């Protein structure tokens, strides 16, 4: 994995799931994109820190949250670039499924660190009629300098979907696009090979988490 991608994913995971208190700025209504971001993090935190849930149930619930609140088909299509168009429907579906597992395992693994972290919504800016950029700050109680995390949120017919997250101005979907594109170039453009490699990585991450 590319170094900048590893750093960005680590910071993102910290932002999403090590957050005991999510504080939205005053005036942000529940239906706003900023509140949606805060509520997603809060729900994920409650799930993964619930001592009454079995580990398998936590992961199942977290997977449902990611499926519900991220626009995974759009993200999966973007990170594959031109290789998405060359793939079959079954290859696309399988990659999207495995990619979802990769995202969930990446985040869940960060719960080994129980540091106290807070997320604060700073502002939100409409980029278009359907897209909003939500700026947040992630900070540990023991760290003076917060990390800037921007969430790109798309408006749907009845809610919102997260389409990208940038950590310190590094876009995660761009980092993953670079990483997967390089891997596909090396293996001759085989999405099946990339998916198999990603599936092995997800399995290794799950084993390490236990």
pLDDT of residue 14: 44
**Residue located via tokens 């988490």:** 209
pLDDT of residue 29: 41
pLDDT of residue 135: 94
What are residue 121's phi and psi, to 5 degrees? -75, 120
pLDDT per residue of the chain (210 residues) written in tens, 0 to 9: 544 555 555 445 444 433 333 444 443 444 689 999 988 877 776 777 788 988 888 888 888 888 899 998 899 999 999 999 999 999 999 999 999 988 888 766 554 344 445 678 899 999 999 999 999 887 766 666 788 889 999 999 888 999 999 988 899 899 999 999 999 999 999 999 999 999 999 999 888 777
pLDDT of residue 206: 84
Pairs from 12-15 (Cβ < 8 Å, separation ≥ 24) = 12/107, 12/149, 12/165, 12/167, 12/172, 13/106, 13/107, 13/109, 13/110, 14/110, 14/113, 14/117, 14/138, 14/147, 15/41, 15/117, 15/119, 15/136, 15/138, 15/147, 15/149, 15/165, 15/167
pLDDT of residue 108: 67
**Rounded to the nearest 10 degrees, how much is the dihedral formed by the CA atoms of 39, 41, 46, 49?**
-170
pLDDT of residue 203: 93
**Residue located via tokens 């300098």:** 145
pLDDT of residue 24: 42
CATH C-level class of 3-199: alpha beta
Residues 6 or more apart in contact with residue 156 via CB below 8 angstroms: none
CA 16-123-113 angle, 5° bins? 20
The domain segmentation of the chain, as residue ranges, is: 3-199
pLDDT of residue 134: 95
Strand partners, 75: none
pLDDT of residue 6: 53
Question: Are the CB atoms for 119 and 38 separated by under 8 Å?
Answer: yes
């Amino acid at each position: 994995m590319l170094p900048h991608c590893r750093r960005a994913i680590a910071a993102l995971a910290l932002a999403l799931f090590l957050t005991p208190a999510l504080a939205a700025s005053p005036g942000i209504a529940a239906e706003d994109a900023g509140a949606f971001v805060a509520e997603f993090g809060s729900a994920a935190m409650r799930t993964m820190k619930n001592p009454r849930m079995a580990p398998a149930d936590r992961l199942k619930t977290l997977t449902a949250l990611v499926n519900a609140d991220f626009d995974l088909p759009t993200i999966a299509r973007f990170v594959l670039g031109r290789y998405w168009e060359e793939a079959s429907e079954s290859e696309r579906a399988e990659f999207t499924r495995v990619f979802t597992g990769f995202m969930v395992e990446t985040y869940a693994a960060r719960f080994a660190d129980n540091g106290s972290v807070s997320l604060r919504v700073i502002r939100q800016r409409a980029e278009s009629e359907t897209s909003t950029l939500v700026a947040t700050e992630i900070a540990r109680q023991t760290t003076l300098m917060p990390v800037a995390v921007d969430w790109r949120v798309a408006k749907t017919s009845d809610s919102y979907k997260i389409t990208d997250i940038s950590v310190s101005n590094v876009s995660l979907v761009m980092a993953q696009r670079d990483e997967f594109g390089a891997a596909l170039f090396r293996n001759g453009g085989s999405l099946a090979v990339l998916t198999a490699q990603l599936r092995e990585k997800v399995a290794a991450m799950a084993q390490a988490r236990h």
